Amino acid sequence: MILNKLHSGRRAAIWPLLVAILACMLAGLALAVDSALLWQARQELQIVADASALGATLELANDQLLLPSQQAWEEVVQRALQNAQMLAHQHTVLGTPQKLVVESAEENDVLPGYFTPSGFQPDAGPYLNAFAVTARRTRERGNPV
């Protein structure tokens, strides 16, 4: 009888510990799944940005840039920006097509410029040879990850 009284108070002591351990394991699993999802989205955004930049830059290989006309130059740049948007829309990030903003005055996703040994210079001058593409998925744009 005395032996039963000593063990009876300790019988359920393991259940709160087990529940706490299971909660920690589930939280760790959720964190691992979320970080894998974010890593995948980051990789897919990098692919979208690279493909769009390459597509826009390939549009610059055009004989119209040899003409001294400013209008011809602007048409080539507009076609390059449209090509970047089209390529971004063809790629998906976590199953959703990516959209690039090119007409906004505040935050353009595609910037024309030129690449020098010191880095990228965002400018639409006569030495245009590259595009910088930033693919974004934000809540403000309505396409969060």
pLDDT of residue 116: 83
pLDDT tens-digit readout, 55-114: 999 988 877 777 777 788 888 888 999 999 999 999 999 988 998 988 876 788 898 888
pLDDT tens-digit readout, 26-57: 999 999 999 999 999 999 999 999 999 999 99
**Distant-in-sequence, close-in-space partners of 111: CB < 8 Å, separation ≥ 6:** 122, 131, 132, 133
User: Would you say residue 20 has pLDDT above 80?
Assistant: yes
pLDDT of residue 42: 94
* pTM, entire model: 0.77
CA distance 144 to 134: 15
